[in-house]
């Protein structure tokens, strides 16, 4: 049974950037979050249909940061090292091909429902199915390509309406000794960092190792191993094989100690989230000068809409993504401009909409004389580097 523990209020579609003409028809929903006592899975109570989010001009590029480009290159190298250069890989959620491009064109197949990206990787020479991941698509892919040694999926299974159904479909395309490798933001890190901004419409579920393990078992898999990753502010990579066997997973013990299987842990998290909102508003109202935000991220859409932060507190957002520039952020309608258009001479503070790339941003903005503000792990003005 799902029990509600958090209400982040009225929220827009996080990656739907708008023109002024779009304001009147903007879609909102109530972002409430619950915990399933049986599977231990954290999920949004009101879920948005995938067709409304993963549209044909979807603006999020996985290669929009050098951090993620390096990450996917390393992930591909790890797979080749473990499984050999001839490994046959199916990627689910291939976005702009940042992972795929590290494999031979005849060894990797992809699934990507956003047609803009599917077209891009098809043109790069990788067979890409522009459909949502389902059991019937799994059967079709298997029929046309045979089964795979590895299914890789990064930041994608948590986007799906049913993670369990996604696992069942993956079971169908994997060879009998095949391996599922899945990466997703970790609930453990969300709790540790009070990173409530990982909660938005595109993440109908936030997975812990505990819930992942329960769902995998139910779908006929066993978790073989897990690794903690730094990306997206704390993720994990899970390896799972078909069948029923035992492996010692240290992360599961760590999560048990931290109480990720207990509802009361999430109730305490909700209290911290409320405190975070009060503190962040206090900082932004108190700093004076001009504050802007760095990265028009889906995460910052949750923060701004939950905390009621609009252009009276954040003058504009800079972002490198062409499709976002010249538009307004969802819900609170803060203008988005390119870094080149922005002049930081009169900017006293930068809020880190993309706090997960702090190192990369500091590196790029060495000449910025003001201070960065973050809300993670608690609202704070960071000392100059
Ligand atoms: P990410 O945290 O991946 O976004 P989300 O919360 O939507 O998953 O951040 C990616 C966004 O940040 C993308 O729109 C590009 C932007 N960005 C910049 O504009 N400049 C930068 O230096 C970096 C690292 C990211």
For 141-158, what is each residue's pLDDT tens digit?
A: 999 999 999 999 999 999
Residue 332's pLDDT is what? 98
Closest CA to 219 of 207, 211, 227, 231: 211
Q: What is the distance in angstroms between the CA of the first residue and the CA of the last residue of the chain?
A: 47
* Beta-carbon contacts of residue 16 (< 8 Å; ≥ 6 apart): 26, 27, 330
Closest CA to 200 of 189, 212, 208, 190: 190
Say yes or no: CB of residue 299 within 6 Å of ligand 1.
Answer: yes
Closest residue by CA, ligand 1 atom 22 = 361
Ranges 50-59, 217-226, 374-383: which has the least confidence: 50-59
Look up residue 302 and give its two tokens.
């949750």
Say yes or no: CB of residue 60 within 6 Å of ligand 1.
Answer: yes
Percentage above 70 pLDDT, the chain? 100
Say yes or no: CB of residue 350 within 6 Å of ligand 1.
Answer: no
For the stretch 13-33, pLDDT in tens is 999 999 999 999 999 999 999
For the stretch 242-261, pLDDT in tens is 999 889 999 999 999 999 99
For the stretch 87-143, pLDDT in tens is 999 999 999 999 999 999 999 999 999 999 999 999 999 999 999 999 999 999 999
Say yes or no: CB of residue 198 within 6 Å of ligand 1.
Answer: no
**Rounded Cα distance, 188 and 210, in Å:** 10
Mutate to test the pocket of ligand 1, among 357, 360, 365, 375 (most ligand atoms within 8 A of CB): 357
**Rounded Cα distance, 344 and 339, in Å:** 9
Say yes or no: CB of residue 201 within 6 Å of ligand 1.
Answer: no
Give Cα 70 distance to the centre of its chain: 17
Look up residue 329 and give its two tokens.
């952020």
Residue 312's pLDDT is what? 97
For the stretch 302-354, pLDDT in tens is 999 999 999 999 999 999 999 999 999 999 999 999 999 999 999 999 999 99
Say yes or no: CB of residue 354 within 6 Å of ligand 1.
Answer: yes
**Rounded Cα distance, 276 and 296, in Å:** 20
Residue 380's pLDDT is what? 97
Span from the CA of 180 to the centroid of ligand 1 (angstroms): 27
Closest CA to 326 of 339, 336, 317: 336
**Rounded Cα distance, 207 and 198, in Å:** 11
Mutate to test the pocket of ligand 1, among 320, 329, 368 (most ligand atoms within 8 A of CB): 320
pLDDT above 70: residue 297: yes
Mutate to test the pocket of ligand 1, among 197, 305, 354, 362 (most ligand atoms within 8 A of CB): 354
Look up residue 133 and give its two tokens.
């991941």
Which atom of ligand 1 lies nearest, measured to the CA of 318?
19
**Rounded Cα distance, 81 and 158, in Å:** 27
* Beta-carbon contacts of residue 220 (< 8 Å; ≥ 6 apart): 168, 171, 242, 243, 244
For the stretch 230-244, pLDDT in tens is 999 999 999 999 999
Q: What is the DSSP letter of 99?
A: T
pLDDT above 90: residue 51: no
Residue 294's pLDDT is what? 98
Say yes or no: CB of residue 364 within 6 Å of ligand 1.
Answer: yes
* Beta-carbon contacts of residue 291 (< 8 Å; ≥ 6 apart): 284, 313, 314, 315, 347, 348, 349, 350, 351, 373
Closest CA to 117 of 74, 55, 70: 55
**Rounded Cα distance, 68 and 193, in Å:** 20
Cβ-based neighbour number of residue 128 at 10 Å: 24
Span from the CA of 70 to the centroid of ligand 1 (angstroms): 15
Region 199-204: what's the mean pLDDT?
96
Say yes or no: CB of residue 319 within 6 Å of ligand 1.
Answer: yes
Collapsed DSSP state (helix, strand, coil) of residue 3: strand
> β-strands 174-185, 205-206: how paired?
unpaired
Residue 60's pLDDT is what? 85
Cβ-based neighbour number of residue 257 at 10 Å: 8
Span from the CA of 84 to the centroid of ligand 1 (angstroms): 33
- pLDDT-derived band at 385 (thresholds 50, 70, 90) equals low
Residue 55's pLDDT is what? 85
Angle, helices 250-257 vs 209-218, to 10°: value is: 120
Residue 151's pLDDT is what? 98
Say yes or no: CB of residue 323 within 6 Å of ligand 1.
Answer: no
> β-strands 349-351, 291-294: how paired?
parallel
């Amino acid at each position: 049974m799902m029990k509600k523990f958090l209400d982040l209020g009225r929220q827009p579609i996080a990656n739907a950037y708008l023109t002024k003409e779009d304001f009147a028809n903007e879609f909102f929903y109530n972002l409430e979050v619950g915990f399933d006592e049986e599977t231990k899975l954290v999920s949004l109570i009101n879920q948005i249909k995938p067709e409304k989010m993963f549209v044909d001009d979807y603006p999020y590029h996985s290669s929009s940061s050098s951090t993620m480009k390096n990450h996917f290159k390393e992930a591909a190298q790890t797979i080749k090292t473990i499984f050999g250069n001839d490994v046959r890989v199916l990627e689910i959620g291939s976005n702009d091909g940042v992972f795929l491009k590290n494999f031979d064109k005849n060894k990797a197949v992809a699934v990507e429902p956003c047609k803009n990206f599917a077209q891009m990787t098809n043109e790069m020479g990788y067979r890409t199915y522009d459909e949502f991941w389902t059991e019937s698509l799994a059967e079709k892919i298997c029929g046309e390509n045979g089964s795979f040694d590895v299914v890789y999926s990064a930041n994608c299974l948590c986007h799906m309406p049913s993670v369990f159904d996604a696992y069942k479909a993956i079971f169908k395309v994997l060879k009998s000794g095949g391996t599922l490798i899945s990466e997703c933001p970790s609930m453990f890190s969300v709790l540790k960092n009070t990173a409530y901004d990982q909660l938005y419409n595109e993440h109908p579920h936030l997975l812990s190792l505990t819930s992942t393990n329960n769902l995998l078992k139910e779908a006929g898999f066993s978790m073989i191993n897990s690794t903690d990753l730094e990306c997206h502010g704390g993720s994990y990579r899970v390896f799972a094989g078909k069948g029923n066997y035992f492996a010692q997973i240290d992360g599961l013990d760590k999560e048990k100690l931290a109480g990720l299987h207990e509802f009361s842990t999430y109730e305490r998290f909700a209290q911290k989230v409320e405190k975070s909102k009060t503190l962040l508003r206090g900082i932004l109202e108190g700093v004076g000068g001009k504050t802007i935000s760095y990265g028009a991220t889906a995460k910052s859409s949750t923060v701004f809409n939950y905390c009621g932060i609009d252009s009276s507190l954040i003058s504009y957002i800079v972002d490198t993504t062409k499709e976002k520039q010249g538009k307004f952020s969802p819900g609170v309608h803060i203008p988005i401009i390119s870094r080149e258009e922005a002049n930081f001479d009169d900017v006293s503070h930068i809020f880190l909409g993309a706090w997960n790339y702090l190192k990369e941003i500091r590196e790029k903005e060495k000449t910025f004389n003001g201070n960065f503000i973050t809300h993670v792990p608690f609202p704070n003005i960071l000392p100059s580097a």
